[in-house]
A and B are shown apart, each in its own frame.
Chain A
Amino acid sequence: MEPIAIISIFVLAVFVGFEVVSKVSSTLHTPLMSGANAIHGVILVGAIIVADHSSTNLELGLAVAAIILATINMVGGFVVTDRMLEMFKPKKGGEKK
């Protein structure tokens, strides 16, 4: 890819990243961090690509380890974020004891 294309993507993504989270109440800081954390689990894609072209056992071993770690990050991250946010859903007919 052209270096200028990469730099453009990078700079624009920085601004989008700044913009989307600039106003967040402190209540949502933790779920937002956790959600962003899950998103960087897409390094799984990178791990699969390097596993695909691994030519030695060492490379494959490291790539497999990377896939396991990345999957934990991604899948675990989304599940735990969902559990946190489940708490915020509107209560159906406030059950009181």
Chain B
Amino acid sequence: MSHFLYSLIGLAAGVCFILALKGLSTPKTARRGNIIGAIGATIATLVVFFYAQEGESLPLNNFGWIIGAIAVGVVIGVPAARKVQMTQMPQLVALFNGVGGGAAALVAIVEYLHLGDTANTAEVIATVFTVIVGCVSFSGSIITFLKLQELMTTRPVVFPGGRFVIAGTLAATLAAAVWVVIELGTNPLMILAALSLLFGILFVLPVGGADVPIVISLLNAFTGLTVAASGYVLDSTLLIIAGTLVGASGTILTRLMAEAMGRSLFGTLFGAFTAKPQEASGAAEERPVRSGSPDDVAILLNYARRVVIVPGFGLAVAQAQHTVRELADLMLAKGIDVAYGIHPVAGRMPGHMNVLLAEANVPYDQLAEMDEVNPTFGQTDVAIVIGANDVVNPAAQTTPGCPIYGMPILEVSNAANIIFLKRSMRPGFAGIENELLYDPKTMLLFGDAKASLTKVVSALKNL
């Protein structure tokens, strides 16, 4: 195959990726967009097997190894993607992003070993960039995975002098980068990779649980840029186009997500260092709360005219989506006006809750976005908060310096009655006490969300 044809097919794959991102931006065309992206990736992968790189011949060297490795990747990747619970999908995306970053770093290292002394300075700089950012993306993504999977604390991890350690590691990493460019050796490159991995860990540790999706999106954009840099070293236009597209769209997406959460990117990454330490509110747990029975809840609902359901991650964890739909249908049958108030970051990621409710066949027109539903809380008789906490926490509006300050919330406190379905008094993902729980018009229904809702449904049926 001529170089021209090879490049032309690569360009076609690049166009597929543009159409894919375009398609993914609109609900109607999203699924088709994803498939177009997959087709582009398949074309790009197949065509490599039919083009002899400079100084090489066909079939590719190490052909068996290449096919075997692809098979292993498919065998690991596809079942993981198919079997994952929808609630755990954000951490899987984080993991996929991490391995992509790792792959880019490895490609850069191999190419560096291969080029040896023949590499020109521009190529070495691109390699160094890929190794640093790829390694940061890899180790950072692993930490976000551990946080989302709750294998480690979801709170910001800050240790004394942390900011100096991070600054020191960054300085050492940059020094190692300069060293690699000047010395051109394998050992400096390995040290650079190790320092970058360490920096990735330190960089993500101080980020609080609720901000993790923003970091995943940022690391996703980073990985895109490493792919573009690899494209430069490997003289592949396709990799430059694809990597740059992801880098640019990922950056915009990160900003959009941060805006939806009312956070600045800077605040997300460095907030833990500038925020005042949280006063430990040990006395808080002693305060009285009003808890009710499923029957109390059913009675309250039976005489309501308008009810807003605020679902959170706890709903998904309890797999209570179907039960909540049953409750909503029952209320609708009784002539009660029902809407779901969806916070942009309900769940673990923007749009996550929409996916989870759609899975339970909740009609799309009952889902109201935050801006739509907030003005209506004044006319709402009952707001039912199911397994959500941070997204309704008034501290976001009233307590400057708290980790979620400035995040737009669902203003359920304007409703005449508030019902919280919770497993315990434990604070939400961001680890902040919620004043609303102690509000006199709040009723708490403790227990597993699914079990509680089932009881409420049967109590309401009997009324």
Contacts and interface: CB of A to CB of B under 8 A. Distances in A.
B275 interface: no
Contacts of A73: 77, 96-97, 99-100, 103
A55 B111 CA distance: 11
B409 to A, nearest CB: 15
A65 B70 CA distance: 10
B363 interface: yes
A32 B351 CA distance: 10
Given A31-B34, A36-B220, A43-B239, A24 B230 contact: no
Contact of A32 (B82, B239, B244, B253): B253
B53 A95 contact: no
B170 to A, nearest CB: 24
Nearest to B350: A29
A62 B239 CA distance: 19
Nearest to B107: A46
Interface string A25-42: 111111111111111111
Interface in A75-97: 75-89, 91, 94-97
Interface residues of A, number: 84
Interface in A2-25: 3, 6, 9-10, 13-18, 20-25
A73 B226 CA distance: 14
Contacts of B369: 26
B110 interface: yes
Contact of A70 (B49, B103, B249, B260): B103
Contact of A33 (B86, B220, B345): B220
A13 B245 contact: yes
Contact of A50 (B96, B107, B326): B107
Contacts of B236: 45-46, 49
Given A48-B66, A80-B89, A72 B106 contact: no
Nearest to B360: A87
Interface of B: 13, 17-18, 20-22, 24-27, 30-31, 33-35, 37-38, 40-41, 44-45, 48-49, 53, 55-56, 60-62, 65-66, 68-70, 72-74, 76-78, 80-82, 84, 86, 89-90, 92-93, 96-97, 99-100, 102-104, 106-107, 109-111, 113-114, 122, 213, 216-217, 220, 223-224, 226-228, 230-232, 234-253, 256-257, 260, 326, 329, 344-345, 349-352, 354-355, 358-359, 361, 363, 369
B239 A42 contact: yes
Given A54-B61, A71-B69, 9 more contacts: A18-B252, A40-B220, A45-B239, A75-B74, A76-B78, A78-B38, A78-B41, A82-B35, A88-B355
A94 B361 contact: yes
Given A34-B93, A52-B53, A62-B109, A42 B238 contact: yes
Contact of B216 (A9, A18, A33): A33
Given A30-B352, A38-B38, A78-B34, A45 B48 contact: yes
A66 B56 contact: no
B173 to A, nearest CB: 21
A69 B99 contact: yes
A49 B106 CA distance: 12
B355 A56 contact: no
Given A42-B227, A67-B70, A35 B106 contact: no
A26 B240 contact: no
A63 B241 CA distance: 22
27 contacts: A14-B247, A20-B249, A21-B21, A27-B354, A30-B90, A32-B24, A32-B25, A33-B93, A33-B216, A33-B349, A35-B34, A35-B37, A36-B220, A36-B246, A37-B220, A40-B242, A43-B103, A43-B239, A52-B53, A52-B60, A53-B53, A65-B106, A69-B103, A72-B96, A73-B100, A84-B86, A85-B34
B253 A53 contact: no
A54 B53 CA distance: 12
A2 to B, nearest CB: 11
Contacts of B69: 51, 64-65, 67-68, 71
A32 B241 contact: no
Among A17, A20, A24, which residue has the most Cβ atoms of chain B within 10 A?
A17
A89 B364 CA distance: 11
Nearest to B16: A39
A74 B41 contact: yes
Given A34-B93, A56-B113, A43 B227 contact: yes
Contacts of B13: 42
Contact of A83 (B26, B82, B102): B82
